[in-house]
Amino acid sequence: MYIILVYDIGERRVGKMLKLCRQYLNWIQNSVFEGSLTPSKLRELKFEAKKIMDEEHDSIIIFTSNNEDWLKKEVMGREKNELDTFL
Amino acid sequence: MYIILVYDIGERRVGKMLKLCRQYLNWIQNSVFEGSLTPSKLRELKFEAKKIMDEEHDSIIIFTSNNEDWLKKEVMGREKNELDTFL
């Protein structure tokens, strides 16, 4: 499955969440990740994310599509991946 | 067309960009918007966004799908829309 994950996570938890998401997906913008995951890997990611997040204050939105070709992606401006290697 | 728009915009320009994007789409998280737009409305939004953004520092990623049903959305934690009315 093709995944887009966006998060809004409190400062004290965001580092952990970033690290987790990067284990499963590609970081494409400040708080945006994409990639392909099997349903069981996605369940695993959600399970781990729940342990980190504060569900009263934080938010994660996950878009899933069965076929990557059904979504077109266009980037305007700077491409995050250029910086990614420095982090 | 169904649209997901995510931005990473410098502090000095973000207010303007937020206002622009909310004219076209629904604000669903900190820097994430979704909605349906005709191709010509999307062109208009991109044209206006280019005028606001600094293409060296800012980034906008637009995902488009021809059919909203091809994407499943799941929200974990807080729903932004609850707060939206206060802003």
- Summarize chain A as % helix, strand, coil (round to 5): 40, 35, 25
**CATH number for the domain including B17?**
3.30.70.240
User: Considering the entire predicted model, what is its pTM?
Assistant: 0.89
- The answer to the question of residue B63 being in a domain is yes
ipTM of the predicted structure? 0.86
Write out the residues of chain A at the interface with chain B, using a CB-CB cutoff of 8 A: 4, 6-8, 28-32, 46, 49-50, 53-67, 70-80
Structural domain for B63, as ranges: 2-67
Kindly state whether residue A7 falls inside one of the protein's structural domains.
Answer: yes
Q: State whether residue B65 is helix, strand or coil.
A: strand
Tell me how far CA of residue A70 lies from CA of A3, A37, A44, A62, B6, in angstroms: 12, 16, 24, 16, 18
Residue B72 lies in a domain: no
For the stretch B17-68, pLDDT in tens is 999 999 999 999 989 999 999 999 999 999 999 999 999 999 999 999 998 8
Number of domain units in chain B = 1
CA distance B22 to chain A (A): 18
